[in-house]
Amino acid sequence: MLITHLQRSSGGNEVTLLFENRESYTISAADFRKAGIPDCKAEELPFELNDKTFSQLELLQEKLNAVKYATYLLGFSDKSVKKLLQKMKEKGYSDHACALAVEAMKHAHILDDLALCKRKLLFLANTKLYGKYRIKQELFVLGFDRETVENALENSEVDYEQNAVALFQKIARNSDLSDRMVKKKLSDKMGRYGYGYDLIKICLENEIDEEFE
């Protein structure tokens, strides 16, 4: 196929190839270089493109469009790779194009699941006062894989005991801590927040009632 015209975007990040049959493909400048297509000057055109490279152009164009769509989605809120792939596939992009788009965005440091997972973890721990078990559940729901979640939990500094105390002070305010049923309800609520028996026991045994006097 003969390339009759080459045009770079104003920012230089994209290249549009126009062919003799009036078909056009827009791909990233990086993919243009990787494909080994000569950056021909006007006087060097038309240029014959081999069939193998031409057959890749549709996929490379779809990849670029998938990257643009994913970037648009990230403008609204952070998303895990899994959630982003799901959204791109729902939009109609092929599995291959989605995979290539994600790899390109990782390489450009636009996507970093571990860093994002850590940020989400700290928000859940220090703002919502969730315990470790609830945090793990929430991170899985957000689409992070087990390895990433475990890595984030291991490498994030969170004082779960301090957060458990803060939560207990919050939910137990004005409660009669001498009442067994009240303590049972508080214990159950702490459990739903993701705290284990040991931390709940610390809160209940200390009763932290001086905070409410």
Average pLDDT over residues 185-196: 95
pLDDT given at position 66: 97
Q: Domain with 51 in it: what CATH number? A: 1.10.10.10
149 and 173: one domain?
no
71 and 118: one domain?
no
Q: What is the pLDDT of residues 128-167, one digit of tens each?
A: 999 999 999 999 999 999 999 999 999 999 999 999 999 9
Q: For the chain, give the mean pLDDT.
A: 90
pLDDT given at position 129: 97
19 and 58: one domain?
yes
Is the pLDDT at 209 greater than 60? The verdict is no
How many structural domains comprise the chain?
3
Structural domain that includes position 32: 2-107
Is the pLDDT at 62 greater than 80? The verdict is yes
123 and 202: one domain?
no
Average pLDDT over residues 36-63: 83
103 and 175: one domain?
no
Please identify, among 45, 72, 107, the residue that sits at the C-terminal boundary of a domain.
107
SS3 annotation, the chain? CEEEEEEECCCCCEEEEEECCCCEEEEEHHHHHHCCCCCCCHHHCCEECCHHHHHHHHHHHHHHHHHHHHHHHHCCCCCCHHHHHHHHHHHCCCHHHHHHHHHHHHHCCCCCHHHHHHHHHHHHHHCCCCCHHHHHHHHHHCCCCHHHHHHHHHCCCCCHHHHHHHHHHHHCCCCCCCCHHHHHHHHHHHHHCCCCHHHHHHHHHHCCHHHHC
Q: What is the pLDDT of residues 7-46, one digit of tens each?
A: 889 888 999 999 988 889 999 999 998 888 877 776 677 7
Is the pLDDT at 208 greater than 70? The verdict is no
Q: What is the pTM of this model?
A: 0.76
92 and 61: one domain?
yes
